[in-house]
Chain A
Amino acid sequence: MKRTLTVVAMLMAGTAAHADGELHLYNWGNYTSPDLVKKFEEKYKVKVTITDFDSNNTALAKVEAGGSGFDLVVPSAGFVKIYADKGLIQELDLSKLPNHKNIDPAWMNVEWDPGRKWSVPWQWGSTGISVNTKDYGGDINTSAIFMDPPKELVGKINVVPEMGDVLALATMYEGGKICDDDPAVMKKVRDALIAAKPKWMAMDYSTVEKMTKHDYSATVDWNGSTLRQRLAVPEIHYGYPKEGYPLWMDNVVLLKDAPNAENAYLFMDYIMEPENAAMLSAFARYANGIAGSEPFMPDDMKGAPELYPPAEFKDKGHFLTVCTGKALEYQTAIWTELQK
């Protein structure tokens, strides 16, 4: 009996031990370059464990419950402030981050973290429209592709089932702003979405596979995903909706109860090295927000139209925020109505 207990105890302790030289990263799935992690582990003799989440809300709920055991989390822009407001993360000691100066000036004084005292950039991108131009030759820089589809695309459109992104696109298409709480605007948004839905084929995440296999002719999509599609099928292009499109950035934050804060600082500093930031991008296929990383990027990403919005559409991108109150109520009600 005693022996069984020892064995059980050993089994259970297996993952519990917090030896020195560990780092626990809690990140979106398939988003962390294994090569970079290996390089970091070798340089600092730190064992990195990566654990995946699939939505900001799950990650937040888990960290908020406490005792999660993670050091670093990678929430999206709007969520950084929520983490800070709830007292879940610590203000960064910038003296431990010499590479902090590498943050691209454009990403330094961001609305959710002016001066970058709480978070450092991971990856950023936009939500737009991916269209196979073999099927449709018209203007693709518009949300009309899915809100009021041209007849060539009817029944061949996919919309990613992401409430925040889709409603942001739809609201801006109808002349509103992100997290709009004007009932007149939201009513138009609802009616337009309900009218458009029968013309969609699916609301699904697996866009890379379905676009390249030509199951869909167009989809609401993220820019990095479209980049992958274009590399496989050159006729696929990314459209920046001129009515307005959402921008997002995922950021690394340091948890207040991080068991390995020192290693966490090493890691944050490490990924702000331009060469290493480029490694992250090469894997995740998005841009990174670190100045000087461009020369280290893989050739097929240098100057890619998906990563760098053309001048005319640059100011049409707006950062996604987390809606609350009435605006959120509208969104959830419309989303439910849409998928009922």
Chain B
Amino acid sequence: MARRSFSVTDLPGFSTVAMMVFAALYAPMVVLVVYSFNQGQSPATWEGFSLDWYRVAWANDEVKNATVNSLIIATCAAILSTALATLAALGTTRRKGFKGQTFIYAMINQPLMVPEIVTAVALLLVTAAIKKSTGYTGLGYLIVAHAAFCIPFAYLPIRARLEGMDLTLETAAADLYASPWQTFRRVTLPLLAPAIFAGAMLAFVTSLDDVVITEFIKSPGQDTLPTYMLGQLRRAMKPDVNAISTALLALTLVLLSLFYLLTRKKD
């Protein structure tokens, strides 16, 4: 008789659902990768293997430029917003309720509540005024704007984790005469790391997908991949964007695998 070991963490059906979710998540990715090697003009019918679209994408400065912009903005915005969100989460959790707490919550969640188009129009007016008076037209506007709407995405997972975190460890550290900074560095931060990582991921992804706000406040030459594609929406969509996305995906995979292997060695 086969004996299955009983594990308390097993819940019936959960693993099956998880596997189906992963399969469903990757199905469109597979389609994307396969079609990036498609020979035909149409992004929809399979007409044989070719690397043509990679050549086309490589030669297309607009696409390359958009990819670089997307990555710069998303990286900067993710770092900035996660840092700010971590501080805010430390400030707003694990203390007695105080006057103004609700206000802070509301402020932090505010970007979630407003349709993008509204923030976009409002930001257009503000940034235009600043651009006119300072003459500065760099990526800074986009980075700050993206950081702002990424804050709630980074904040919520960090706060969710902090809220149930055991205070005793920190109290113990303080009892052992650790300075508040040491306590934070050695106790709180390591415990918080998965949530900070999750928050940064969410922020990055959110920034990478933004269309409307970027469309309204970008300066010349600041198209990102989404705004580039939005511009194409009305014309025929060309598969070179598939190629770029696949390349981006491959790059991500390489970087993440490296990161994974490096952290694994340390364990």
Contact = CB atoms under 8 A, between A and B. Distances in A.
Asked if A and B bind, the verdict is yes
Interface of A: 11-16, 24, 26, 28-31, 34, 49-54, 58, 61-62, 65-70, 205-206, 208-209, 212-213, 225, 228, 232, 284
A53 B233 contact: no
Interface stretch (B173-181, B220-228, B246-254): B220-228
A52 B219 CA distance: 10
Contacts of A12: 136, 138-140
A29 B132 contact: no
B62 A66 contact: no
B125 A65 contact: yes
Indicate the member of B140, B221, B222, B227 with the most A CB atoms within 10 Å.
B221
Given A29-B231, A62-B124, A51 B236 contact: no
A69 B137 contact: yes
Contact of B228 (A29, A58, A69, A284): A29
Contact of B137 (A15, A26, A29): A15
B219 A29 contact: no
Contact of B231 (A54, A61, A206, A208): A54
Contacts of B222: 15, 51
B212 to A, nearest CB: 9
Contacts of B220: 24, 26, 49, 51, 68-70
Contacts of B72: 11
Q: Taking chain A's interface residues, is the majority helix, strand, or loop, or is none over half, making it mixed?
A: mixed
B257 interface: no
B201 to A, nearest CB: 23
A29 B223 CA distance: 10
Contacts of B138: 11-16
B44 interface: yes
A54 B233 contact: yes
Given A15-B137, A52-B227, A68-B128, A58 B233 contact: no
B218 interface: yes
B237 interface: yes
Contacts of B59: 34
Given A15-B138, A15-B221, A69-B220, A61 B124 contact: yes
A51 B233 contact: no
A58 B223 CA distance: 14
Given A68-B219, A208-B236, A228-B236, A30 B231 contact: yes
A16 B124 contact: no
A284 B216 CA distance: 24
A225 B228 contact: no
B122 to A, nearest CB: 11
A62 to B, nearest CB: 6
Interface string B233-249: 11111100000000000
Nearest to B233: A205
Contacts of B229: 29
B139 A14 contact: yes
B222 to A, nearest CB: 7
A34 B232 CA distance: 14
Contacts of A50: 62, 221
Nearest to B230: A54
Interface in B131-156: 131-132, 135-140
B61 A34 contact: yes
Contacts of B44: 209, 212-213
Nearest to A64: B128
A15 B72 CA distance: 12
A208 B42 contact: yes
B42 A49 contact: no
A213 B237 CA distance: 14
A213 B236 contact: no
Nearest to B117: A58
A49 B223 CA distance: 10
B124 A28 contact: no
Contacts of A26: 220
Given A14-B138, A51-B221, A51-B222, 9 more contacts: A12-B136, A15-B222, A16-B137, A29-B232, A34-B59, A52-B227, A53-B215, A62-B216, A68-B128
Contact of B132 (A31, A66, A228): A66
A12 to B, nearest CB: 4
Contacts of B182: none
